[in-house]
């Protein structure tokens, strides 16, 4: 068991190191796509509040357009990162040439970057402006303002960014398969709760309090739903990389994640660490630390997580020895 955890940890180290190296090489393009998705959500929320009193004839088409734009940008990012990985060659051969990164070291590096930004830059250069803006705007608004200013400053570099979107934007069939696969995923998550409800249904007749049974069923159903979500989360990559249909992409995702769940769980835990820190600082009302962690998450963790998904996908595809058309039953567990 210990050896298995060591192998999984080293595999996660390789994924994070490779992702970090790719992010440094194409940071502007990857962070720009993440920023566009972030602003799409913000604009859609503002439009929803602005059009809250209008009829559905106007609201539904606008909402559908924002959904297509957001999903299109997400698939564009996946397609771009997959092509970027393929240009770098075989990940397995490349990972043996570099020393293994201890992701605790990466964590300390990011915390150091947050400290430098918050203490040196924020306090010495922007403290006067930031103190006034912070009273009016939220943390997300400050981050958005900083990214917009950076884009304006680097406006001459926007042309390659437009080319990336144009060359990697999903085709109509790929977008349709993604929407259908998303619906299938929601159905599978709903079935996870139904399975737990059926399993715990006999306990009601054993004179156990219904509230206790309901809480256990919901809690375990949530755990099962998270497991299912991790297992099927790679279906967009199969749609963009192999032009798979909606259902086939989900089956492939279940197939390649079989035996890799511990690795994916460790990777997800590392990427989610900064989100947990943000929630902790938000509850404790540590505004300066919350701002620093939010900046690091927005500028580094979010773009890094987008690349790690593609890197993990390519690594698992290289290790996959199964059928080209996997069935569902044999890859559930």
Give the model confidence (pLDDT) of 258-295 as tens digits: 888 888 888 888 888 877 777 777 777 777 777 777 77
Domain extent listing, the chain: 2-103+159-331
Lookup result for tokens 């303002």: 145
By CB atoms closer than 10 A (0-12, 13-18, 19+), residue 277 is buried
Statement: residue 15 has pLDDT above 50:
yes
Could you tell me the two tokens for 234? 């790679």
Statement: residue 106 has pLDDT above 50:
no
Between residues 284 and 116, which one has the greater pLDDT?
A: 284
CA distance 229 to 244: 19
Secondary structure of 10-72 in HEC code, one letter for each residue: HHHHHHHHHHHHHHHHCHHHHHHHHHHHHHHHHHHHHHHHHCCCCCHHHHHHHHHHHHHHHHH
Q: What is the mean pLDDT of residues 42-58?
A: 69
Between residues 324 and 174, which one has the greater pLDDT?
A: 174
pLDDT tens digits, 229-244: 989 999 999 999 989 9
Residue 186: what pLDDT?
A: 92
Looking at every residue in the chain, the average pLDDT score rounds to: 75
Read off the pLDDT band of 183 (50, 70, 90).
very high
Residue 166's CB is within 10 A of a number of other CB atoms, namely 9
Q: Work out the angle at residue 146's Cα, subtended by the Cα atoms of residues 141 and 148, and round it to the nearest 5 degrees.
A: 95
User: Using alpha carbons only, how large is the chain's radius of gyration in Å?
Assistant: 22
Residue 89: what pLDDT?
A: 61
Residue pair 259/2 in contact (Cβ under 8 Å)? The answer is no
Q: Worst-scoring range by mean pLDDT, 95-99, 116-120, 191-195, 291-295?
A: 95-99
Between residues 270 and 120, which one has the greater pLDDT?
A: 270
Between residues 228 and 296, which one has the greater pLDDT?
A: 228
Q: What is the mean pLDDT of residues 61-71?
A: 86
Statement: residue 173 has pLDDT above 90:
yes
Helix residue ranges per DSSP H, 88-126: 91-97, 103-115
Residue 103: what pLDDT?
A: 45
Q: What is the mean pLDDT of residues 192-213?
A: 83
Between residues 305 and 290, which one has the greater pLDDT?
A: 305
Q: What is the mean pLDDT of residues 14-40?
A: 84
Of 75-84, 90-99, 290-299, highest mean pLDDT: 75-84
Residue 241's CB is within 10 A of a number of other CB atoms, namely 20
Statement: residue 96 has pLDDT above 50:
no
Residue 95: what pLDDT?
A: 45
Please give the DSSP secondary-structure letter assigned to residue 147. H
Between residues 65 and 2, which one has the greater pLDDT?
A: 65
pTM of the model: 0.73
Residue 125: what pLDDT?
A: 47
């Amino acid at each position: 068991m210990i050896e298995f955890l060591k192998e999984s940890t080293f595999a996660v180290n390789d994924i994070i190191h490779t992702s970090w190296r790719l992010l440094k090489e194409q940071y502007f393009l990857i962070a720009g796509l993440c920023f566009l998705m972030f602003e799409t959500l913000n604009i859609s929320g503002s439009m929803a509040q602005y059009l809250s009193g209008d009829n559905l004839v106007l609201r539904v088409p606008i909402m559908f357009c924002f959904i297509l734009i957001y999903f299109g940008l997400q698939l564009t990012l996946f397609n771009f990162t997959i092509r970027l990985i393929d240009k770098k060659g075989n990940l397995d051969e490349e990972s043996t040439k570099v020393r293994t990164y201890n992701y605790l070291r990466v964590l300390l590096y990011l915390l150091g970057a947050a400290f430098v930004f918050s203490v040196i830059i924020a306090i010495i250069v922007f403290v006067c402006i930031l103190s006034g803006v912070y009273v009016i705007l939220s943390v997300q608004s400050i981050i958005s303002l900083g990214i917009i200013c950076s884009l304006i400053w680097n406006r001459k570099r926007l042309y390659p960014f437009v080319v990336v979107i144009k060359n990697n934007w999903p085709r109509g069939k790929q977008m349709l398969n993604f929407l259908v696969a998303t619906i299938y995923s929601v159905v599978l998550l709903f079935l996870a709760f139904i399975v737990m409800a059926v399993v715990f249904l006999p306990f009601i007749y054993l004179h156990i309090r219904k509230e206790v049974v309901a809480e256990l069923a919901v809690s375990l159903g949530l755990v099962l739903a998270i497991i299912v979500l991790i297992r099927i989360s790679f279906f967009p990559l199969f749609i963009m990389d192999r032009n798979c249909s909606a259902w086939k992409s989900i089956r492939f995702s279940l197939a390649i994640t079989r035996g890799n769940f511990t690795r994916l769980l460790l990777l997800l835990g590392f990427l989610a660490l900064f989100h947990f820190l943000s929630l902790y600082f938000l509850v404790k009302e540590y505004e300066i630390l919350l701002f620093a962690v939010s900046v690091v998450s927005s500028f580094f963790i979010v773009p890094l997580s987008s690349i790690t998904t593609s890197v993990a996908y390519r690594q698992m595809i290289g290790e996959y020895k199964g059928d080209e058309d996997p069935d569902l039953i044999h890859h559930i567990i």
